[in-house]
């Protein structure tokens, strides 16, 4: 399901869905090309995670606990609960969005070790990382790159076996994305796990405790609404599970590091473009809600 490129001054973006068998594991593939007249600062919002192949250029994220860092090598991003500020000017990057089920099925890793963190791509893919990066770099066009990535991920699918853990994670994933799931008790009921088992599962397979995951998903639903509607209306669609507007603002500051007013006053060139095109191509603006 290819979508047309999203073009702007110095910016091109394409996003496509993976093959049907991969859609429970991957949120999509993207190719982003930026060649801006001057550096732009923006924020990456909380996500489930992904593989990022750096093809050209670099960008500078301000990583939690590390500070500003130049990234010009391919990497794996784990699940995140905090926005990451970054500066970018020229960069060409290919991405594979990873859903929680992917970390279980393909690598069976403890995701808590990746939470709010980035690792070299070899840490997840081993020697295959160089093979994938080389094939993508030598591809003739974007369609060929998407086909290469899809074949690679289908190969991983064929080489691994399903497990009960994958299905359990899928049930929890669906429950977290359900706006009606507002309490930990809702999660335990929908997933059928004792509270202690649920806490361990959330930490190992999603990177964070269940309460933080519920808060994050509620915040992301608010953020998606902010992308779709003008600022003047935002008090009208505050999630009713926030106690009041002050509660919502505190949560916004926790996840984004700024108030809604500060956030909406920023240009957000990269974020707005990618959110709009992701909604058009895949049906939702934010990968963290996939």
For the domain that residue 145 is a member of, what is the CATH number?
2.60.120.10
Residue-number span of the structural domain to which 88 is assigned: 6-161
Indicate the SS3 state at residue 112.
Answer: helix
Q: Is residue 284 part of a domain?
A: no
- 243 & 203 share domain: yes
What is the average per-residue pLDDT within 247-271?
A: 92
Mean pLDDT, rounded, of the chain: 92
Calculate the dihedral angle through the C-alpha atoms of 290, 169, 46, 281, rounding to the nearest 10 degrees: -20
Express each pLDDT in 158-193 by its tens digit: 999 999 999 999 999 999 999 999 999 999 999 999
Q: Is there a single domain that holds both residue 32 and residue 156?
A: yes
pLDDT band of 260, cuts 50, 70, 90: confident
CA-wise closest residue to 223 among 260, 250, 187: 260
| 41 and 124, same domain (yes or no) | yes
Residue 28 pLDDT exceeds 70: yes
Longest dimension (CA), the chain: 54
At 243, the pLDDT band (50, 70, 90 cuts) reads confident
Of 62-76, 136-150, 223-237, the poorest mean pLDDT is in 223-237
Backbone phi and psi for residue 204, each to the nearest 5 degrees, phi listed first: -75, -40
Last residue of a domain, one of 161, 193, 216: 161
Q: What is the pLDDT of residues 197-235, one digit of tens each?
A: 999 999 999 999 999 999 999 999 999 988 877 555 666
Question: Do 14 and 155 belong together in one domain?
Answer: yes
Among residues 112, 132, 161, which one ends one of the domains? 161
Domain count, the chain: 2
Q: Are residues 126 and 246 in the same domain?
A: no
pTM of the predicted model as reported, rounded to 2 decimal places? 0.94
Residues 67 and 134 in one domain: yes
């Amino acid at each position: 399901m290819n979508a047309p490129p999203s073009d702007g001054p110095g910016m091109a973006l394409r996003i496509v869905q993976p093959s049907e068998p991969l859609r429970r594991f991957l949120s999509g593939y993207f190719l982003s090309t930026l060649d801006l007249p001057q550096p732009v600062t923006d924020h990456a919002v909380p996500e489930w995670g992904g593989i990022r192949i750096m093809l050209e250029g670099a960008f500078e994220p301000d990583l939690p606990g590390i500070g500003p860092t130049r990234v010009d090598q391919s990497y794996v991003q784990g699940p995140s609960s905090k926005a990451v500020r970054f500066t970018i000017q020229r960069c060409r990057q290919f991405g594979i969005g990873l859903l929680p089920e992917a970390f279980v099925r393909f690598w069976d890793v403890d995701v808590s070790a990746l939470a709010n963190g980035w690792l070299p791509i070899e840490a997840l893919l081993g020697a295959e990382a160089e093979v994938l990066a080389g094939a993508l770099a030598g591809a003739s066009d974007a369609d060929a790159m998407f086909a290469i990535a899809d074949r690679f991920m289908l190969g991983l699918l064929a080489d691994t076996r399903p497990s009960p853990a994958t299905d359990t994670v899928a049930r929890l994933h669906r429950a977290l994305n359900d706006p009606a799931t507002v309490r930990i008790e809702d999660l335990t009921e929908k997933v059928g796990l004792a509270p202690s088992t649920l806490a361990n599962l959330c930490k190992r397979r999603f990177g964070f405790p269940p309460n933080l995951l519920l808060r994050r998903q509620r915040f992301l639903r608010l953020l998606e609404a902010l992308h779709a509607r003008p600022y003047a209306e935002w008090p009208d669609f505050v999630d009713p599970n926030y106690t009041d507007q002050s509660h919502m603002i505190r949560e916004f500051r926790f996840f984004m590091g700024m108030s809604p007013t500060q956030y909406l006053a920023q240009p957000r060139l990269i974020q707005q473009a990618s959110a709009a095109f992701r909604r058009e191509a895949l049906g939702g603006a934010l990968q963290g809600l996939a």
